[in-house]
Each structure stands twice: as structure tokens, then as C-alpha cells.
Amino acid sequence: MKFSELGLAEPFLRAAEAQGYETATPIQAKAIPVVLSGQDLIGCAQTGTGKTAAFTLPMLDRLMQTLPPRSKKKSSGRSGGKPKPRALRALVLSPTRELAAQISDSLDRYGKFSPLRQTVVFGGVSQHHQVKALRHGVDALVATPGRLLDLVEQGYIDLSNVEVLVFDEADQMLDMGFLPDLKKIVAKVPKRRQTLMFSATMPNEIRRLAQQWLSNPAAIEVGPAATPVERIAQSVHLVDKKRKPDLLTLFLKETPRVRTLVFSRTKHGADKIVKRLKKDGVYAAAIHGNKSQGARSRALAQFKSKNPPVLVATDIAARGLDINNVSHIVNFDLPESPETYIHRIGRTARAGAEGVAVSFCAGDERGLLKQIERLTKRTIAVEKTIDGFEPTDPVSLRSGNGRQNGSQGRGRSRYRKGGNSRGFRAKTGSASSGGEQPRRRKGSTEPDPKRKKATSASSSVSGNGTRKRRRRRPVTK
């Protein structure tokens, strides 16, 4: 279906044409008419299929239709005749700063031929310029939940006039612990509103929230949920964990590529990978939560340039970021959540292109690999073992929460097997049979048996059974 057949107003059709859009993607063709009608919507589609345009274009169209006329009458108050700032009428919530900035850029491009104003607010930077933009009044706001609530509490943002509320990458916001903040935000917006939810995966928790926050929503699912794009060639190298850095350097030097994104499970691991690649003569940069917003923005700008470095990232870069010509994705560490794998490899093969996703799997990650294959319902091809990289690590099937099958692995419960709670030593037998006595909890009012023994050893007992403290001899100089 062509964009001209979707019912968008002329300014937004012109903006879409300026971006080179002619034919709508399946999610756009199905979602845009629903959003234009004012109905609530829950949408699920693969990454790289145009979800952002599917809600931003019709949202701006609706704001344009209900744009209040600007009053020419000047007030006589202290404001010096300035008109009242326009009210905030559309709110888009994003889990990360990078995705929020990207959505804001999309709103700028799609609304360039309209009088609508929008801005973005997120943490990690000074709020000075964000507050300045808000004081002029905006029709649409893109925000991360934390910074939004901060500015609401300071009185800079009023949510009482919101007509459209959008949750983008809703499942990641739940994964990142934003649910309490989201509940506060929903409580502050009007009950009569249009609510939209978009994501590449739609777990049951999201569907339960949709029943609470959405009213009779239309459900649109383009392709099976949590399914990677068919144009991505997936493979895995079975390799020992200690040999992963050597294999990565070899892969990057011998593989023809355009832009390569390497995923690490931890921030410290990302920095170590960059340090090692630079030592091996590979141009690389890191992006993760411990980096300042300025450093993250510079790394992304370099990655989008004509001479891009290898970008090593944690999963903050796995959601929603639209970077053209990413030819290769490397999972240096397999993610704990199989859904995260879908989002990681979705950074390639965007807008009809093809891509390659390669994973390095150590012996203790075989269970994570099985979970990914179970979710995607396909077997990932195993690459031929390279000489010198034969795997020797023991194979351990571990579930996503860090436990190993049949044993207590990383991330184990706070209570040990056999009912011994934290703070007590595991006992090999009872106290009467020579077993070790449990340690005394901090703050307990029970007497310490060890201290009692020490006291009895340093005191004497008189004939009538009363204890007498020994007098300490004066110290002579």
C-alpha cells in the first residue's frame, strides 16, 4: 500500500516523500489507519520494519487536526503580553536516551512542514536546555520515565492535557524496572486518551498491562512474535571463553564488512573488548550506561560516519536504534534473555537490506543458545571450528536466570539447599554430633556461644556459685 492511500494529511505525505517513502511497510499499512481513527493500539512487529513511523506520522496528523487556534489577544498581566504557551498533547515514552533522541529526530523530520512543535527530555545531561524548550510550549514530548517525573515534580511539565500516550519498546521498560514510574505517569494523564503500545516482543506481562491501560485496543502483529528477520544470516562459533578475544580480532580482520556492532553482556566487558581490539590494531569504541551522554553521542556519531569504528555495546544499543548499513552483528556474549537476542540482531538487515549475525558460544552458554533456538524455532548453524580454537571448556546447560541444571550456579537463591538461610554456615551434622554451630546473626539479641565460653575461661567461680572477676594487675613502667 502506498502512503498516499493511508489517509495522512498533505504536510505529512510531503514529509514522507522527502524521506523517500513510497510504499508503507506491513506494520505501517495496518497501524496508521487505526491510529488516525483514534482507537487504542497494541502493535508487535520485527525490528527494522518501520514501527517508529507507524505511530509518529498518524500521531502528528491527529495533533494537527486538533491544533487550537493561536489567540492574538494580548494579556494584561506581568508576562508583557505574551500568549499562553501551548499545552502538551502527546507523550512518547522511551526506555533509553538514544532511542528517545532518535524518535525526536523522526518527529522533526515528519513534522517539518507543519506548525507543530516537539522536544525531548532524558537524563544524563543538564536539564537547562530541556526546560528552556518546555517553557516555549510543545505539542509533543519524547521522554525517558525518570527525567519526565523529575520535571513533572518540579512543575515544568503538565500532563493533564495529554491526548495521545505512546509506550515504545514497552517490554524493555519493564525489563529495566520502569514499571513503578510508568504507573505514576499513567495516573497523571487523563483517563480519556488514546494509548499506543509498540514493541518487537510482546510477553504476557505487557498484555496484562495493556488490559489495564488500553481501552478496547486493536491488536496488530506483523509476523510471529519474537522472530528475527529472514534476511539475517545467523551462525554460531563454539569457542572457549578465554579464546573469544582472539577469535573476535581474527573475525574482524578477515571479514569484509561495512559497520560492525559487537555486543557485550557487561559494561566492564565492553571496555575490555575495546582495549583489546585497539591493542590488536582494530579501530573500536564503546557505548554503555557508565559513559556520559556526550561520550555516547560521540561514539554513535563516529559509528554513523564514513570511517566507522567497531562499536562495542551493552544492550542499551539493542533496542530501536536505526543505524543504516550495519552489515554484521557479533554477540561476544550470549544474552541472558533470548528476547534480547532478537533485538540485538535486529540492528542489521533494516529497511530491506541483508545482514549477518554471528555469536560466540562458550561451554557455559550452551543452555542460553538452546533457549534462543527454542524461542526462534530454528536451529542456528554452527560454524566450522578454526584450527587453534577447538573448544575444551566443559559444557554446562544454564537457564536464563544464571542457574545451572542440577547445581547451584551464578545468581543462586539467597537460601541454600537444605533450608540453611543466608548468614548461617552449612552444617555437616547436628551440634551434638560435632557439627559446626551456626553463626550469630548481626543484630541478634541472643548471646554468642563463643563469647560465653571466652568469658567463663577468664573468670573464676566462688564456692557459693557466684562469679568473681579477676582484677587486672596495674601496669608498672
Length of the chain: 477
pLDDT of residue 323: 83
Query: What letter does residue 400 receive in the DSSP assignment?
Result: T
Phi, psi angle pair for 103, to nearest 5°:
-65, -40
Burial status of residue 471 (CB atoms within 10 A of its CB: 0-12, 13-18, 19 or more): exposed
Query: What letter does residue 193 receive in the DSSP assignment?
Result: S
Category of 169 on φ-ψ map: left (φ > 0), alpha (ψ -120 to 50) or beta: left
Residues of the chain below pLDDT 70: 47, 70-83, 223-229, 317-320, 351, 398-477
Rounded-to-integer distance, Cα 168 and Cα 197, Å: 6
pTM for this prediction: 0.71
Residues 6+ apart with CB under 8 A from 35: 41, 54, 55, 58, 59, 62, 194, 196
In 184-211, which positions are buried (b, 16+ CB within 10 angstroms) versus exposed (e)?
ebbebbeeebbbbbbbbbbeeebeebbe
Rounded-to-integer distance, Cα 54 and Cα 283, Å: 36
Phi, psi angle pair for 152, to nearest 5°:
-65, -45
Query: What letter does residue 297 receive in the DSSP assignment?
Result: H
Distances (CA, A) of 24 to 52, 92, 234, 351, 429: 12, 22, 27, 11, 70
pLDDT tens figures, 267-280: 999 999 999 999 99
**Domains along the chain with CATH numbers:** 3-65+85-222 (3.40.50.300), 232-382 (3.40.50.300)
pLDDT of residue 150: 97
pLDDT of residue 173: 87
